[in-house]
């Protein structure tokens, strides 16, 4: 296959793979509970609230965590929930915003992983097979 078609095909492949992973979860209409999901959703809500107020970052959580002003933003970097906070600003539905953030995070993880293996092994087939398995957690089944 010509090299100029590999990149678009790879992007479409990873978009489809991300959609196949996330859509069945979204279709249920509720969020599956993770170990510390409520904590991270609260962090994202706090960051989205800070964005609405014109602050680009937060140190003290004043609108969640029982409204007591916890210093969560000091100890946990907000970069890890940035995508989720942006989608919370764009969509009022928490389920939609959460799964859109998961979709984008998985898609970006696949692209970054693909680029990394391409730099190491110089093979599209190796990257297209190995890193979806790594990114989607197949070694943990």
Given pLDDT bands bounded at 50, 70 and 90, which one contains residue 139? very low
pLDDT at 69: 57
For the cut 80, the answer to whether the pLDDT of residue 6 exceeds it is no
Given pLDDT bands bounded at 50, 70 and 90, which one contains residue 27? very high
In 16-55, which positions are buried (b, 16+ CB within 10 angstroms) versus exposed (e)? ebbeebbeebbeeeebeeeeeeeebbbbbbbbbbbbeeee
More confident residue, 131 or 104: 104
Burial (CB < 10 A; 0-12, 13-18, 19+), residue 8, is exposed
For the cut 50, the answer to whether the pLDDT of residue 140 exceeds it is no
Least confidently predicted of 9-18, 30-39, 78-87, 94-103:
30-39
Question: pTM score, two decimals?
Answer: 0.76
pLDDT at 112: 85
């Amino acid at each position: 296959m010509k090299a100029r078609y590999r990149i678009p095909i790879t992007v479409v492949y990873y978009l489809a793979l991300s959609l196949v992973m996330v859509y069945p979860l979204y279709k249920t209409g509720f969020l599956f509970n993770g170990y510390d999901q409520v904590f991270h959703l609260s962090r994202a809500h706090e960051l989205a609230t800070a964005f609405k107020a014109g602050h680009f970052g937060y140190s003290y959580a004043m609108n969640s965590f029982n409204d007591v002003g916890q210093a969560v933003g000091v100890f946990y970097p907000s970069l890890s929930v940035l995508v989720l906070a942006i989608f919370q600003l764009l969509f009022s539905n928490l389920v939609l915003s959460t799964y859109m953030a998961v979709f984008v995070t998985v898609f970006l993880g696949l692209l970054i992983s693909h680029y990394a293996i391409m730099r190491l092994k110089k093979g599209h087939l190796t990257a297209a097979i190995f890193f979806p398995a790594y990114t989607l957690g197949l070694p943990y089944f």
